[in-house]
Each structure stands twice: as structure tokens, then as C-alpha cells.
A and B are shown apart, each in its own frame.
Chain A
Amino acid sequence: MRSMLLAALAALGGCLGAEQTEACRAFVACTRALDTRDGQTTDAARFEADGACWSGPVIAELCDQACTRGVEWLREVEPDLVCEVAP
């Protein structure tokens, strides 16, 4: 009975949201490094830990893939950029 309850809660949690992924933590870190260099603030709210990307598993997967390619792109066009990911 307890395991069924835990499984149901886990499933419900999966439906309700997701956690920011490592790729998006890196993408946000790169973005903030650029902001510091350029003296501006990028609206990256959707990729932040409390952003809309993590409102559910479907959009979370999309954001994770987007961030992975996004970091590759930033490192290609900004080779000197240092992206420090906060622990």
C-alpha cells in the first residue's frame, strides 16, 4: 500500500514539474558571464531554476536539448567565454 502511494506521488510529481537541468544551468551561467562582460541583463527567466521550462517534463526536455545546443553555440561564437556554474 505504501509503495503504491509513493508511486502515485512520484507520478504526480512528474506531472507537475521538473528540475532545472545541468545543460540549462550551464546555459544560464554562460549568459550571465556575457551579461557581465557586456554590461547588460539578458531575460533568461524561462531557463532559470524557477523558470517556465520546469513546469512539466515535456517542456523540460525541450529546454534541456535547447540549452545543450545553446551552450555549444555560445562556446563557438564566444570562445573566450568562461561559464562558471554555481555549485
Chain B
Amino acid sequence: MRSRWLLVLALGLVLVPAATVEAHAPAVLDPTEPYVVEDPAVSRALYGTFVTGDEVFDIRLRPATRIALPFEMLVPRRDGLGAHRPAYAVVAPGLPPPSPEQAARLPRPLPAGAGVFLDANDAPDRAVVFESFLRRVYWTSGPVALLVPAGDVELWIWSPDATTGDFVLAFGVEEGGIDYGDVLGNWGEYAY
């Protein structure tokens, strides 16, 4: 099986104690405030937890030019999360307008002039990926390469069936010099 962004992240976290390393960038999302991505070209593993199931996680980025990136929603494969299928949407001017069915699925109205890519994460069978270093197993929505327009872009993550639990939104490929801050001190936010 594949290991993923998380393998690289794990290697960076465990093997390199310095605050700045070359690896994918982790962060913990807070549903009460948008998370701003400074450099969309640097890959991200964004961790979050639905506590009530009605949260909407909001991520903002502002590419200078249209950029092609892979996106993937991961859920830890463990008891109690079998029905947990967070959805995500990329929202920006320049993306296609939603169908009526897609619009009805979104957690909030689209900004004026914005279109959307929506991954409902509702395929009957979810693939399983294996993060081999820490031996974590995740269900995946399946990676998809998207063209993210230049300008103001929002990523929304929500739980369509109000299920609760952890998720990881991963996107991008390239590594960067990352300030890990207090990741090791907050290891419980990242490991399960």
C-alpha cells in the first residue's frame, strides 16, 4: 500500500528535532477561525476534529496564478469512524457554478460570483491507505488534481451527516522549509 504525505510528515516530526525542517507542513484547524495558507505550493496536512458535527472548517489561500494541486480527505480507520465522511469544497471565482444538487449540499451560501468543486466523500467503497512509519491507516476520499484559480480561494470542510471525529485534509506535493512550532508539544493533536 501507499504511504502518503503523512509518512513524510512523520519522518520530519520524529527524526528531526529542530524547529525548521524540510517536510510537509502540518497544522491543527480551529472551526472558530479561518486557517490562512501562506504558500499554496507547499504541501499541507491539516488536522481537524468534528466535536459537534455541525462545524464548518474554513481555510483561505490566495494563489498568485492558477495552480494545479492534488487534494485528499483522510479519516483514521478505526472503530467509531466507519460512517464519518467529511466533505470538502473548493470555493472561488472561476470555478464552475454548482448544480442545484451540489448547491443544496454546501454548508453555506456561495459568495457572489464564486463557483465550486465539491467532494462529497460518499463513494460506496473507500480506499484505505497506510502510513507505514507510524503505522497509521486511513480511509481516503481519493486524491484529485484540481485547478485552483488565482485570487481569493476558500476551502470548506463539513460533516454532511453530522458525524463527529478526526480528519486530515491533505493537499500539494512540494515540501518546504517549515516552522513546526509546538507540534511535538501537541503530539496528541496529530497522532491517534
Contacts and interface: CB of A to CB of B under 8 A. Distances in A.
A61 B70 CA distance: 12
Contact of A70 (B2, B67, B146): B146
Nearest to A23: B145
B41 interface: yes
A79 to B, nearest CB: 11
Q: Interface residue tally of chain B, by bracket?
A: 20 to 34
A43 B67 contact: yes
B26 to A, nearest CB: 17
A70 B90 CA distance: 14
A65 B68 contact: no
A71 B7 CA distance: 27
A85 B172 CA distance: 23
Most buried by B among A34, A63, A65: A65
Interface of A: 24, 27, 31, 34-35, 40-44, 46-47, 51-53, 58-59, 61-63, 65-67, 69-70, 73-74, 77
8 contacts: A43-B41, A47-B68, A52-B173, A59-B173, A62-B4, A63-B70, A70-B68, A74-B147
